[in-house]
Amino acid sequence: MKQFNTILLAVISLLSLQSAFAQTGTLCDGNKGPNLLGARGTFSIPYITANANADACIQSGTNSYNPLENVGSKIEPCGDPSGNIFPCSDYNYTAVQNGMQPEFTYSIVKIMGDESGSNCLHAPIWIAADHTGDQGYFLAVNGRPDIDQTPIFYQIKSIPVCVNAIYEFSAWVINMMPPGGSVDASPSISFVVNGTDTIGTSGHIPYDHQWHKVGGQFMATTGIVDLKVVNSTAIAGGNDLGLDDISFNVCQSKITVNGPAVATEGSTVSPEYTIIDASQTNTVYQWQVSRNAGITFTNITGGTIIYTNGVATLNYGITNISSDLSQPNANGNIYRLVVAASRAGLSNPDCHYFNDYTLVVAEGGPTPVKLTSFNGDYSNGVARLNWQTSQELNNDRFELYRSFDGTNFELATSIAGAGNSSVPKNYTYQDHINLDGNVYYKLKQIDIDGKFSFSNIIKLSSNDARASFKIYPNPVVNNFAASFSAPKSGVATLLIRNTSGQTVYKKSLSIVKGDNTVSIGAQQFSTGMYYINIINDEINYSWKLQKL
């Protein structure tokens, strides 16, 4: 692979933060995308499962230091890849009594030892538990004893990336071995990209029973990268460590949009989009419009972004506004600003960032009813539609429309509204249809005075498998994962909405056929209830999430 420019990396590569022993710096100065490794980086299902054949003394369940299913399955050897983004190690995996006594070994465990004692995987001097404290697994390593063996104890290989974008590679590490002897044998790890470029180094990690964050950032110059974690200490009787919550995030732009909440017939509005990008790497933009509630978008025009101290402002003028849906600038149109690091990135959902402005026209536009969710599922000949409002004022009724092509809709049913309400109201309808493929639904909410508005369009499939969708942990404090299945590989959209129906988070996901897991940092959300949706042409999952 093409080597990274050493001078450039010296400028943009910064060392770890939240680590008292290492040089501090800034990682992803600004907005940061979700962990692209998902469960692969957190030693979670489906990539790590309990090892039922591990020795009983390690996972007997009799004490806090050897709970049930304390040992996880091994990761693959690095010479035996199974596709993109796979974790691997060429160290020797063990799950037997005293199995980690030899150097150059590793295991996947929940707990090595605690204040109450130690299990039989290693000597009692080792103390460590998973980083998040939620009974998950971490990688325990007895590092190499000399320079004749590879220092690379963990790798993530063949990660698709976006050329010219900046990424952060980080993990949490703990020293499991108390100090002793005249030589400092405490572990010191480095993060390496594509074999030769070191982007972050921890320095010697103290034995303080604490997890420390280590990592760095780099600019991608190729479409695929390999990431390695290297133990820089080669001393027998030392360099024993735990590794957990490995994260690979894009340093993305943050886009905010401000525009009038309501437009009038014949007027012109010019929503303002502010791009905040500390690295100023996303330098191209594209305006897009959707006239079918966000199902598809059409390019309008584009250009180059000029930043001032990491901030740029762009406006798009929408003229001749109409409530007539047949007109170009009509009620319900969605106008999107998309930014990326390259022209090619604008058409790659994994390489661009965007924010939307929805045009609302006074005639047939705003209504005093707040729709907080609209979703459904299909099974055994029944499509079940559910929606909720947080408040209603003069709400006459809802009309539910059905379509089998996403374009031509017919009235399925009409359901009376609550009239006036200041508390959440839930509605449901069962549509009995024989479905072999997809069906689309949208809601029309109509006021007593005849004003109306449409909801987003949702899509259900005869292959719908809602039971395979899971959010955990729920409630959440810091981070959560969404686990779901997909009938084929492709791209999906993750949406997180608050109880007012506002989209607070949106991300394009690359998914594979079968099981998928995506991890999201919840620290950015305030306390309250949220609605999670993962959708594309084949799947439509929804769930509630409580943020503590």
From the list 30, 243, 5, 255, the residue with the least C-alpha distance to 136 is 243
DSSP letters along 157-196, please?
EEEE--TT-EEEEEEEEEE-S---SSS-----EEEEETTT
From the list 437, 443, 427, 432, the residue with the least C-alpha distance to 405 is 437
Point out the least confidently predicted range of 72-76, 227-231, 468-472. 468-472
pTM over 0.95: no
Q: 264 in helix, strand or coil?
A: coil
Burial class (CB in 10 A: 0-12, 13-18, 19+), 50: middle
The string of pLDDT tens digits covering residues 37-70 is: 877 888 887 778 899 999 999 998 889 999 999 9
The string of pLDDT tens digits covering residues 435-465 is: 777 888 888 888 888 888 777 778 787 765 4
Tokens 């402005």, located at residue: 357
Phi, psi (rounded to 5 degrees) for 39 = -65, -20
| Other CB atoms within 10 Å distance of the CB of residue 77 | 13
The residue with greater pLDDT, 521 or 146, is 521
pLDDT of residue 389: 85
Tokens 């499939």, located at residue: 461
Cα separation of 67 and 318, whole Å? Answer: 62
The string of pLDDT tens digits covering residues 170-217 is: 999 999 877 764 455 688 888 888 877 888 888 888 888 899 988 888
Residue type, 94: T
DSSP letters along 22-82, please?
S----SSSS-B--BTTGGGTTT-TTTS-B-TTS-TTTS-SSSTTS-TT-EEPPPBPTTS--
Cis amide prior to 475 (ω within 30 degrees):
yes
Residue 154 has pLDDT above 70, yes or no: yes
Query: What's the whole-number average pLDDT of the chain?
Result: 80
Cα separation of 362 and 340, whole Å? Answer: 34
Tokens 């943020």, located at residue: 547
Alpha carbon 53 to chain centroid, angstroms = 33
534: tokens are: 């993962």
Cα separation of 141 and 241, whole Å? Answer: 5
pLDDT of residue 17: 28
Residue 467 has pLDDT above 50, yes or no: no
pLDDT of residue 38: 76
Residue 6 has pLDDT above 50, yes or no: no
Which domains occur in the chain, in start order?
6-28+55-250 (2.60.120), 254-358 (2.60.40.10), 370-461 (2.60.40.10), 466-547 (2.60.40.3080)
Q: Which residues pair with 250 in a beta bridge?
A: 167
